[in-house]
Amino acid sequence: MIHMTTETSAPTADIEAIHQLLATVEHAQQNKDPEEFLGLFHPDAVWTTARGKVLIGFDAIAAFTRKVLPAANWDGKVTYEVAHILFIRPDVAAVKVRQRYLTPGEESEGAPLYVVSKQADGRWLLTACQNTGVVAE
């Protein structure tokens, strides 16, 4: 049986590091900076875009990101907020994210799920991520 912990029972430093990881995602997205964004990925990461495109491994994620992020059709006003952290193991966490694009007249929301892993050097990296758009019901 896998023991899972919530955000409140995990070490404060790890919780803060995960919040900082999301702050860096937000900064990279706001500035449409593919290199800053790509610096957050595990080399073997898996990424699924909000439109369902599956990218396996850093090279595929990098090629996609370098093509689409600088050309993104929003004005850079996007926020990423940690909604919930579930520690699956001390070095692996599932992070539910609230993503909001704040372009006037075209606001939209996403609900990504990021599985992040702690590296030997203490950094937390994006490892398996699924972007999901929120559709108003």
> Residues 28, 32, 38, 39: is their CA dihedral positive or negative?
negative
Q: What is the mean pLDDT of residues 42-66?
A: 96
8-state DSSP, 8: G
Question: pTM value?
Answer: 0.87
- Say if residue 61's pLDDT is above 50: yes
Render pLDDT for 109-131 as a digit per residue (tens, 0 to 9): 999 999 999 999 999 999 999 99
Q: What is the mean pLDDT of residues 75-88?
A: 90
Q: What is the mean pLDDT of residues 52-57?
A: 96
What pLDDT score does 1 carry?
A: 35
Domain boundaries, the chain: 5-130
Render pLDDT for 17-29 as a digit per residue (tens, 0 to 9): 999 999 999 999 9
Give the percent of the chain with pLDDT over 90: 73
pLDDT grade for 71, boundaries at 50, 70 and 90: confident
CA-based radius of gyration for the chain = 15
> Is 28 in contact with 36 (CB distance < 8 Å)?
yes
How is the chain split among helix, strand and coil, in percent rounded to 5? 30, 40, 35
CA distance 54 to 4: 27
- Domain spanning 5-130: CATH 3.40.640.10: no
pLDDT grade for 8, boundaries at 50, 70 and 90: low
